[in-house]
Structure 1
């Protein structure tokens, strides 16, 4: 695949409708959010696992008190149960 426009029809076949601009940003940038459906479609298209596409990073966050004092807090990474529904497959 040489152009981001090649990815659009492959995603559409898997039930993911992204505009040309959204597809471009997905490929060239670092998306802040990525739906599970899109992630699974990308893994299917590229024949890879989520671990091949995602590199987790923990970023330090801070909270402010009413007085304006900054209190560092550790970022929390929590697990959340999810269900993956692949287009064309029934439960």
Structure 2
């Protein structure tokens, strides 16, 4: 079994619940906590699920939204069956392997 981590990003939802409807509402809140991001960076942060993030930014978001990490970003571990590696053998007998092998060429020198 392979285990995969899945998560959802609920920043926009929590902002709305806190009365912040625009990114311009979030910019001064983050600036008060020492995080200075451009409007385009915050737009991407609100609109899309981030793959990596600065811990200071994450802490500031949790403080601004007055929530926990689990509320902002619920995480689930999903187990998927591992694929079997195709190695070209099906457990067949050795006769079959010999049948697949080409015959050795015999080269004679002209006399």
Q: Give the TM-score, by structure 1 length.
A: 0.60
Higher helix share: 2
**Ranges in structure 1 where 5+ consecutive residues have no aligned partner:** 61-68, 70-91
Higher relative contact order (Cα pairs below 8 Å, separated by 6+ residues): 2
**Ranges in structure 2 where 5+ consecutive residues have no aligned partner:** 1-19, 81-86, 88-111
Q: What pairs up with 1:1-91 in 2 under 5 angstroms?
A: 1-57=20-76
How far apart are residue 56 of structure 1 and its match? 2.6
CA distance in 1, matches of 2:75, 2:49: 12
3-state secondary structure, aligned to 1:6: helix
Q: How many residues end up aligned between the 2 structures?
A: 62
CA distance in 2, matches of 1:35, 1:58: 22
